[in-house]
Amino acid sequence: MSDLIDELDARILDLIQEDASLSVADLAERVGLSPSPCWRRIKRLEDLGVIKKRVTVLDADKLGLGFEVYVSVKLSLPSRTNLEAFEACLTNWPEVVACATVTGHEDYMLRVMTSDMHAYDDFLRDKLLASDLVSGVESRIVMRTVRSTTAVPIRLTLKPDSKDTPKLVAREGGR
């Protein structure tokens, strides 16, 4: 386990990652504490920066923003100045919901959400490719999301217990 958290902290974090609207009283009851010590633990985790913020997860499809694309971006010249300039551009592009620097031939991987293919094409032409900083992009359109979570896998900080580790088993008949 991480030096920052113990088993009780991990249980609290698991619960609030699943439902950030739980009251301190509800959390305390579920982890077997009284509200005051539970609140102190949460406050400590916030002060340590373990808990960054509490958010509400929205359904992009229901909001008409279900067209999702992963975009590899290659900069024309990956200098520190160009990296910083490109990253500054991203803050003005609401379509980009995630960005990471990556290893390999590309410099960045973006996660882009728009309403449809036409809106993505507009984003690509009017913003991404309009930048002199960008020398190439490769788009991968999401056909279906198989798994998506915002939860950090806290349990990976625990020592593995072989009897509780799930096993992958192939089913007969392929899929």
Percent of the chain residues past pLDDT 90, beyond the cut: 81
In this predicted structure, the answer to whether residue 162 has a pLDDT above a threshold of 50 is: no
The domain defined by 1-57 folds into Arc Repressor Mutant, subunit A (1.10.10)
Residues 38-59: tens digit of each pLDDT = 999 999 999 999 999 999 999 9
What average pLDDT score do residues 160-175 get? 54
Confidence of residue 152 (pLDDT cuts 50, 70, 90): very high
Please report, for residues 12, 45, 114, 141, the alpha-carbon distance to residue 35 in angstroms, rounded to integers and kept in the order given.
12, 15, 42, 46
The Cα 83–Cα 133 span in angstroms is 9
Residues 77-129: tens digit of each pLDDT = 989 999 999 999 999 999 999 999 999 999 999 999 999 999 999 999 999 99
Q: What's the mean per-residue pLDDT of the chain? A: 91
CATH of domain 67-141: 3.30.70.920
State the maximum Cα–Cα separation within the chain, in Å, rounded to a whole number.
Answer: 58
Listed by start position, the domains of the chain span 1-57, 67-141
Q: What is the reported pLDDT for 163?
A: 52
Q: Which residue type occupies 81?
A: T
Task: Decide: 119 and 67 in contact? Cβ < 8 Å.
Answer: yes
In this predicted structure, the answer to whether residue 130 has a pLDDT above a threshold of 50 is: yes
